Amino acid sequence: MSTTNARPLAVLWNYVFIIFLVHALGLLAIVPWFFSWSGVALWLIGQIVFGTLGITVGYHRLLTHRSFACGKWLEHAFATLGICCMQDTPARWVAFHRKHHQYSDEPQDPHSPLVDFFWSHVGWVVLEKPEHRQIGFYERYARDILQDSYYLSMERHVKGMWIYAVHAVLYYLAGLAIGWAWTGNYLGGVQLGASWLVWGVLLRTVTVWHVTWSVNSLSHIWGYQNYDTGDDSKNNWLVGILAVGEGWHNNHHADQRSARHGHKWWEVDGTYGIIRALEFLGLVWDVVPPTGSTAKPSKKTRETAASSPRKLAPVSAETAGQMSFTSAE
């Protein structure tokens, strides 16, 4: 594939710095002074509260695919939890994901592993594609999101970083207060506050990042296909467990609006269970059931990524960054 007309990619140094810094600070979790069992508990709980409710339920199944409906207050609450994962603004996240579905594993795909694994996992996050900073990108893929003033304000101001910073400070202050009260001395509070910050915020951010990125990388490389979707999307059991149902990626590509990604009995989809529980409580409605995929069932429902590779030439990162404004419908 020719890349002669591709514009060069620029490194987003602010993204590189933030990702490096959060990873480095997250490594403080191996230092005994920062350890606490309550910090570990907050780390585990945070995978669900922020990773699942914020990214999987909020950013993905609600905002991107409109797999269910809910009140604006709840929608904004989910989105705010997603912002606390530092995975960019809701509009930008949605735009990239919708474009991925339109051009899955084609040259215009923002994060196809056909470039290489690193690109699909994190490289696309830290390299600037000029077309993705243009208003036309948002107009094409996230116009409905930006009609909401709350999401629009995230683009006009650096609100997302402030929200992340405030929630990190609140974690520390809560640990400080509880630790001080529990131990009866100020240093005990400082230690617990630091533990909650490292485990409950920084390490949790890192693990939620890699779980989300693995859907883009591992779930297009390793796994099996229930449906012939014409791309390399795979059902990956490891990502399915870690991402609470997002790893049944081939099913999702075959039936994108469905709130349920697990189609076989063994494909447990905890996120769908959360959505159904919220529906039972009357907090969400119009949950989109599996509609019957238009994709053909795959002849090898348990094929691995190594077998029967698609006949596609490798795609360069520059080519992957090219923009096309053809219909997204």
323 band by pLDDT with thresholds 50, 70 and 90: very low
- Residue 133: per-residue pLDDT: 83
Residue 217 has pLDDT above 90, yes or no: yes
Note whether 248 and 240 are within 8 A (CB): yes
Q: Using CA atoms, how far apart are residues 37 and 247, in angstroms rounded to an integer?
A: 29
306 confidence band (pLDDT: 50, 70, 90): very low
Tens digit of each residue's pLDDT (9 = 90 or more) over 2-60: 333 456 788 889 999 999 999 999 999 999 999 999 999 999 999 999 999 999 999 99
pLDDT-derived band at 134, boundaries 50, 70, 90: confident
- pLDDT, residue 159, reads 86
Looking at residue 4, its pLDDT comes to 36
pLDDT over 50 (residue 310): no
Residue 227's SS3 state is: strand
d(CA 184, CA 81): 33
Please, where are the H alpha helices in the chain?
13-26, 37-46, 72-83, 90-102, 117-118, 124-126, 135-141, 143-146, 149-156, 159-183, 186-195, 204-216, 237-242, 249-254, 270-280, 317-320
Domain ranges of the chain: 10-320
Instruction: Encode pLDDT of 142-164 as tens digits.
Output: 999 999 999 999 988 778 899 99
What is the average pLDDT across 70-96?
96
Determine the pLDDT at residue 295: 58
